[in-house]
Amino acid sequence: MIKSFESLTHFRTYISERNPSFTANCNVLSALLAQTNLSWYSAQILKIVSFLCDYWWDNDGYIKDKWASFMQCMHSCHKMAAWKLTGAQNLSHHYASLLAVQSIMELLIQIDKGNLKPLSYEMQSKVNITLFQICFRVLLDTPSPASTETIAYRILVLCKARRMPIFRFIKDQMDHEITSQVKILRRSGDSEISSVQNHVWVEKVSFGSPLITQGYRLAALKAASNCTDDIPLGSLGITVPRFESVSNYMKLLKKTLLFELIPDWQIQASVFEASLFRPLLRDRRLDVFPRENMAPDKYFDLIPLTWISCNNRTKTFASNSFIFEMMVISFLDFQADEFMEAVAGPTYEGQMDELYQLIEDICDEIGGNTSPKLPKKRRKMSENGLTSALGAKANGASDCSLLDPKDLVHKSDGYRTQSGREEVCNILSRFVSHIYHHPSVLSASDWNSASTLRELRVYLRAHVTQSEDNTRLLLARRMARQRDGTRTVRTIECRNPSSDSYFRWVRTTSADHTACTYSFAFAGCLLSALSNGTETFPTTKTKYLAAAVCQHLATMCRMYNDYGSIVRDQEEDNLNSVDFNEFVSANDSNTSDKNAPLQGTEEESCDDRTMRVKKKSLYELAQYERSWLSDALRRLKAEMQGSQNRRQLDTWHIFCDVTDLYGQIYMVKDIASRMKRD
C-alpha cells in the first residue's frame, strides 16, 4: 500500500489522482495504527495526520469528499469487517466525521501508550481543534430522521466523543442526543432501511445497500449500549479554562442580543473551543507590535471567543484558515489602536502633519515595492516584509525599517527623541508591510487587494485625525476649567471641538477609526484568495451594496462603542459622539424607541438628566444605522442569489455578527458598571 499509493503529502486513491481524498487518508491512518510495530510507519502516520488537519483547517463548511475511500471499514464490537468500494462517494458529511474521529482517537491512544512520539506543539493544537470541532458540530447538526444510516454515523461519533474528557462538560447533552437518536433507530424497520433516504452512496447514480445500512445501525446500537467508560487521553495536552473565566464569558455573551437565546451549553462549548486557538494565537501575538510597558491585553482571550461563538451560532462553519486570520487581524487592530494612542500620538504631539506624512511615505514606499500581481498565483512574502529600507523621512528618521522594535522600550520621557520617532517609523512599517505582503492580499483579485491597501491608509490617517480632535477637545476643556474652576471635567460642556458635523464625522473619521472598513476589505482578500483570486463582489451593484453594508456597520459599531465608553472618554479627554452640538437639543427628551435604555429618576441631577437624554439619542441613532445595515444586507443577498460567491455571503454575515457583538459588549459593560455605581 505504501509503495503504490504514498505521495509527498498524503496517500492517493490511484496513481494519477489530482485531488486528495479526506476519507481515504482517514482509513489509511486507521490501517497503519493497527500494525504491531508503529515506529516503522511513524513518518507515514505523521504525514497523514498533518494532511488531515490541514484539510480540515482549510475546509469551508462541511467536508465534501470526492471518494468515500478505496477501502471502507465498519467497526462493531471492536471487530472490523472491510470491503472494497472503488470510486464510491458518500453524500453524508457525518460519514467523513466518523472516519476522522475513529482514526484520530486511535492516534491519541497510541501516543498515550508510548507507542508513538508526542506530536509537535502546533500539530497537537490543530489535532485538538479538529477533533473537538468535528464532534461538537455533529452534536449541533440534526440529520433527517428518515436516514437510518446517517443517524447511525452520528451516534457512533457521539459515543466516541462522550468518552473523552474534553467533552465532559457537555456529556449530558450528548447522552440526551444519543438516547433520542437510538429511539429512532430502534423504530426503523425494513422499509426504512431500504428507503431512498439511505441512498447515501454515489457512483454514477446514488444507491444504498440495506446490508451496509443495517450493519451501521447495529454498530450504533451496540456502541450506545456500552460507552460509559472514559478514555483519559492525557496526550491532548489541553489546559481546561478556569470555571470562573468560562462563567464570566457565558454571562457576558448571554446579556447580548445575539446570544440571549442560545443555550448555555452551546456557549460553554464555544468558550472551550476558543481556548484551543489561544496557543496558536500567542505564537503570533508579537509578530508586529511589541508590548513592552503596555497594560495587560485583556481583549486577547475575548477575540477567539467572538469569532468562534458567532461561527457556531449560525452554523456557518467558515474555514478555520479564514477564522484564524481574522482573529489575528482583530488583535492587530487592538494593538494598532494602543500603539497609535500610547506611542505615535504622544511622539508627534503638536506635529501631526509630520505623522500624516510618515504614514503616506510608508504606504507609498511599501506599496510601491510590491511585485506585479500574478493572477490566481500566490506570491511568496519576503523574509522581513520589506523589499528595501525606508530612506530619510520628513520627520528626520533614517533607515528606521532596519531597527528591531523589540529592542525599543516605550518610555514616556523619550517620546520626542530621535529614537522614539525611529520606533514609530519602524513599527508602523512592520504593520503596513504585514498587511501589504500578506499572502492572501497578494493572491486576491486586484480589486480586493486595492481596496485593502486603500482602507488601511484611511484607517491610519483616521487615527491621526482622531488624535487632533482629542487635542482640540482637551484645549477646550482646559479653557472651560479656567472659566469655572468649581465644575468637574465630567460636567463641562464643550461645543463641537471637531470642524465636522456629527453626521459627517461619525461616517468618516469616526467609522474609519474603528478598523471595521479596512478589516472588512482584508476579509475580502481572504475570501478572494480562497476562491482562486475571484472578486468577492463581482458586479457594480454588489460592490456598492457591500460598501454600504460596511459603512453602516462601522457607524453603528462606533455609536455603540461611544455609548459604552462615555465615562472613560470623559476621563481621558477623548472625543465622543455626545460631545457634538447635535446632542444638546432640548427636544431630545422624547424618545420614539421603546427599547431605548436608561429611564430617568426624580433624584437625578440636571447634568445626569442631560447625559441620559444624550445617550437616548445616541442609542436611537445606532438603531437607525442597524435598520439600514439590515436593508443593505437584504439587498446584497438578493443580488448574490445564484452567484458563485453566494456561500461567501454567509461568511460575511459572521463578520457583521462579530463586529455587532463587540458593539453589544460595549453596551453590556456600560450597563454593568452603571449598576455597580448605583
In a domain, 279, yes or no: no
In a domain, 291, yes or no: no
Mean pLDDT value of segment 652-667: 94
CA atoms of 194 and 209, how far apart (whole Å): 7
Q: What is the three-class DSSP state of 637?
A: helix
Model confidence over 561-589: pLDDT tens digits? Answer: 999 999 888 888 889 999 998 887 656 65
pLDDT of 624 strictly over 80: yes
Q: How many Å from the N-terminal Cα to the C-terminal Cα in the chain?
A: 72
**Of the candidate ranges 55-64, 73-82, 105-114, 239-248, the one whose mean pLDDT is the lowest:** 73-82
| CATH code of the domain covering residue 86 | 1.50.10
**Single-letter residue type at 627:** S
pLDDT at 258 (0 to 100): 95
Q: How far apart are CA 524 and CA 535, in angstroms?
A: 8
Expressed in percent and rounded to 5, the helix, strand and coil fractions of the chain are 65, 5, 30
Torsion angle of alpha carbons 582, 584, 585, 591, nearest 10°? 90
Residue whose entry in the numeric block shows the C-alpha cell 520617532: 421
pLDDT at 380 over 60: no
C-alpha separations of 75 from 35, 92, 135, 231, 451 in Å: 17, 18, 18, 18, 52
Domain presence at residue 306:
no
Please report whether residue 391 resides in a domain.
no
Cα–Cα distances in angstroms (integers) from residue 434 to residues 382, 385, 461, 592, in the given order: 10, 6, 17, 46
Assess if residue 141 is contained within a domain. yes
Question: In this predicted model, what pLDDT tens digit does every residue of 6-21 receive, in sequence order?
Answer: 899 999 988 888 889 9
Tell me if 618 sits within 8 A of 557, measured CB to CB: no
Domain residues for the domain of 66 are 2-236
- Domain assignment present for residue 380? The answer is no
% residues pLDDT > 90 (the chain):
56
Task: Identify the residue with better confidence: 169 or 198.
Answer: 169
SS3 79: strand
Over residues 18-42, the pLDDT tens digits come to: 889 999 999 999 999 999 999 999 9
pLDDT digits (tens, 9 = 90+) for 236-277: 666 666 656 788 899 999 999 999 999 999 999 999 999 999
Contact present, 90 and 200 (Cβ < 8 Å): yes
**pLDDT tops 70 at residue 107:** yes
When pLDDT is cut at 50, 70 and 90, the band that residue 58 belongs to is very high
pLDDT tens figures, 185-208:
998 877 677 777 777 777 655 677
pLDDT in tens, 124-165: 999 999 999 999 999 998 766 668 889 999 999 999 999 888
Average the pLDDT over 398-414 and give the result.
37
pLDDT the model gives residue 166: 87
Whether the Cβ atoms of residue 146 and residue 192 lie closer than 8 Å to each other: yes
Chain centroid to Cα 591, Å, comes to 36
Mean pLDDT along residues 418-424: 86
For the chain, the domain total comes to 2
Average pLDDT, the chain: 82
d(CA 591, CA 594): 7
Beta bridge partners of 11: 6
Gap between the Cα atoms of 457 and 512, Å rounded:
10
The answer to whether residue 260 sits within a structural domain is: no
Q: Is the pLDDT of residue 670 over 60?
A: no
> What's the sign of the alpha-carbon dihedral 116, 120, 121, 126?
negative
Domain termination residue (choose one: 236, 265, 300): 236
Nearest CA to 361 among 388, 391, 383? 391
pLDDT tier at 221, thresholds 50, 70, 90: very high
Q: Final residue of a domain: which of 214, 236, 258?
A: 236
In a domain, 269, yes or no: no
Domain end call among 207, 236, 265: 236
- Indicate if the pLDDT at residue 171 is higher than 70: yes
